[in-house]
Chains A and B, each alone.
Chain A
Amino acid sequence: MIFDFFSDNPINTVKTSALMTVESVINKALEYDPATQNAVGELAGKVLAIECTLPPLTFYAVHSETDISLLGQYEGEADTTLRGSSLSLATLAIDGQDRVSFFDTGVEVRGDHDLLRQIRKILKNLDIDWEAALSQLIGDVPAHLIGESLRTSAKWQKDAMERASSAAAEFSQEEVRLTPSKNEVEHFNGEVKHLANDVDRLAARINKLNVILDKKSQDQAGSNTSSNKNNDAS
């Protein structure tokens, strides 16, 4: 018997529980991103089969008008089937590139490729309102305060990174003179370019002189030959 918690196949129980949990998290997140929820709704009735080879696991994402159901078994035919390792499947889900073909991703795609493109587009544009989600748990004001402090903290972090980078460059260029400044590099590049042009011009001039010298020596050789003939004749 399958699906017996105590004896025969506990993996099925773990699989069903895991799919239920993931489905619940996805659908909860969709509630806080109405644009994505609408985009998912446009795929209503479409079924994506995911065959993970490592670890071996097959499940189906059935799209409805408002959410997604993750089922361990599905008796109909999936519109699109993805087959690959968990790593390659995850990479494909998050890489965010607009792909025409999926041949170099390590994931075998069967069926409707356009469905996969639409799902990847949805994942790329995912923008969950975490503050709204948090406010359901702890109330509007605390959620806003936490949201504000997280946003401030993120901004401070970004500014601090930029400041640290700028300070490090200044120290290296001005204090210890370990690296040149941007202006110095540009000036040096300009001079190198100028020198390269001069060298090119000099090479052209030398080339021109060589041509003249060759011509002169050929003329001289010609005149010597004719004078020798005259002498012989006389």
Chain B
Amino acid sequence: MADNNTAMTNDKTTHFGFKTVPVEEKASRVADVFHSVAGKYDLMNDLMSGGIHRLWKRYTIELSGARTGHRILDIAGGTGDLTAKFSKLVGPTGEVVLADINDSMLKVGRDKLVDKGYASNVRYAQADAQYLPFPDNTFDCITIAFGLRNVTDKDLALRSMNRILKPGGRLLVLEFSKPTNGMLEKAYDFYSFSLLPKIGGLVANDTESYQYLAESIRMHPDQETLKEMMNEAGFVNTEYHNMTGGIVALHRGFKP
């Protein structure tokens, strides 16, 4: 499977940024990173992307086809940006589930959403994307924004998402990817490995976590590989849209 080439180097080890770690350690190491950055996650997103992450997410919402009465799962929903918008679009007859494996991120997201008045149609679940605790054929749409690269076994997670989608439902994967332009890639590398950890150090007082973020982006499958992985997990009509010169790509696939 494609994941064997990308996420796991062999049966017992996997990537954690540029490091190779035992499979069972990756989840806890990723959890430590997000426990560390949770409090300043939104601020850092704005600083790191210059606010463009809002456009990336907006485009994800437009391609989600969300409308009144839909059930939507926002995996690795973090601080709830997508959930907030989906909550409005699905209305009182719909439901949005904000899921995150990390309880710190989930708490920050839940507090933020409740403070803003999103309560009636939003549920919360601390869940591992590889073993989603929902019945088969439950959701009209699943999104995972900037979360798939942190999942230990991406194939398992994609199959799990496919299982709980309704037939005709869609999966949207918004994730950092490979820039399509050589010059842009060089500038992006300089930014990621030289500036980003320094910004992380200054703002969140956490250089290592942002170093990991940069490394994990480089280890994530490129556009075509991820598309192939989605096909192998059972999705059809799979396509991707590059954004910001391929720095980010939005993959979309449907459950047949």
Interface residues of A (CB under 8 A from B): 1-7, 13, 16-17, 20, 44-45, 62, 64-67, 69, 71-76
Taking a contact as CB atoms under 8 Å apart, the answer to whether B91 and A3 are in contact is no
14 contacts between A and B (CB under 8 A): A1-B240, A1-B241, A3-B241, A3-B243, A4-B180, A6-B244, A7-B180, A16-B58, A16-B62, A20-B58, A45-B91, A69-B85, A72-B62, A75-B65
Within 8 Å by CB of B89, from A5, A62, A73, lies A62
State the CA gap A64–B241 with chains docked (Å): 28
Nearest to A24 among chain B residues (CB) is: B54
State the CA gap A72–B60 with chains docked (Å): 11
Taking a contact as CB atoms under 8 Å apart, the answer to whether B88 and A16 are in contact is no
Taking a contact as CB atoms under 8 Å apart, the answer to whether A7 and B245 are in contact is yes
The A-contacting residues of B in range 209-256, CB under 8 angstroms, are: 240-246, 250
State the CA gap A75–B54 with chains docked (Å): 21
Chain B nearest CB from A30 CB (Å) reads: 13
Nearest to B250 among chain A residues (CB) is: A3
The A-contacting residues of B in range 73-93, CB under 8 angstroms, are: 85, 88-89, 91-92
Taking a contact as CB atoms under 8 Å apart, the answer to whether A2 and B245 are in contact is no
State the CA gap A14–B85 with chains docked (Å): 20
Within 8 Å by CB of A4, from B62, B85, B117, B242, lies B242
Q: A3-B243, A62-B89, A69-B89 are in contact. Are A17 and B55 (CB under 8 A)?
A: yes
State the CA gap A152–B65 with chains docked (Å): 50
Enumerate chain A residues within 8 angstroms of B240, measured Cβ to Cβ: 1
Nearest to B116 among chain A residues (CB) is: A66
State the CA gap A73–B65 with chains docked (Å): 8
State the CA gap A16–B245 with chains docked (Å): 16
The A-contacting residues of B in range 39-93, CB under 8 angstroms, are: 52, 54-55, 58-59, 61-63, 65, 67-68, 85, 88-89, 91-92
Chain A nearest CB from B119 CB (Å) reads: 12
State the CA gap A16–B55 with chains docked (Å): 7
Nearest to A19 among chain B residues (CB) is: B58
Q: Name the prevailing secondary structure of the B interface residues.
A: mixed
Counting CB contacts under 8 A, is B114 at the interface? Answer: no
Within 8 Å by CB of B55, from A13, A66, A76, lies A13
State the CA gap A203–B240 with chains docked (Å): 93
Enumerate chain A residues within 8 angstroms of B244, measured Cβ to Cβ: 4-6
Taking a contact as CB atoms under 8 Å apart, the answer to whether B68 and A69 are in contact is no
State the CA gap A166–B43 with chains docked (Å): 59
Taking a contact as CB atoms under 8 Å apart, the answer to whether A20 and B55 are in contact is yes
Interface residues of B (CB under 8 A from A): 52, 54-55, 58-59, 61-63, 65, 67-68, 85, 88-89, 91-92, 117, 180-181, 184, 240-246, 250
Taking a contact as CB atoms under 8 Å apart, the answer to whether A44 and B245 are in contact is no
Chain B nearest CB from A123 CB (Å) reads: 21
Q: A6-B244, A20-B58 are in contact. Are A65 and B92 (CB under 8 A)?
A: yes
State the CA gap A75–B62 with chains docked (Å): 9
Taking a contact as CB atoms under 8 Å apart, the answer to whether A4 and B55 are in contact is no
Chain A nearest CB from B182 CB (Å) reads: 12
- Residue of A6, A44, A75 ringed by the most chain B CB atoms within 10 A: A6
Q: A1-B241, A64-B91 are in contact. Are A75 and B85 (CB under 8 A)?
A: no
Taking a contact as CB atoms under 8 Å apart, the answer to whether B88 and A69 are in contact is yes
Taking a contact as CB atoms under 8 Å apart, the answer to whether A66 and B241 are in contact is no
Enumerate chain B residues within 8 angstroms of A44, measured Cβ to Cβ: 91-92
Enumerate chain A residues within 8 angstroms of B180, measured Cβ to Cβ: 4, 7
Nearest to A20 among chain B residues (CB) is: B58
State the CA gap A115–B223 with chains docked (Å): 43
Enumerate chain A residues within 8 angstroms of B91, measured Cβ to Cβ: 44-45, 64-65
- Residue of B62, B92, B244 ringed by the most chain A CB atoms within 10 A: B62
Chain A nearest CB from B177 CB (Å) reads: 11
Taking a contact as CB atoms under 8 Å apart, the answer to whether B241 and A2 are in contact is yes
**Known pairs A4-B180, A13-B55, A65-B91 / 9 extra A-B pairs, C-beta < 8 Å:** A1-B240, A4-B245, A5-B243, A5-B244, A6-B244, A6-B245, A20-B58, A44-B91, A66-B117
- Residue of A3, A4, A7, A16 ringed by the most chain B CB atoms within 10 A: A3
- Residue of B68, B88, B245 ringed by the most chain A CB atoms within 10 A: B88
State the CA gap A17–B243 with chains docked (Å): 14
Taking a contact as CB atoms under 8 Å apart, the answer to whether B184 and A45 are in contact is no
Enumerate chain A residues within 8 angstroms of B181, measured Cβ to Cβ: 6-7
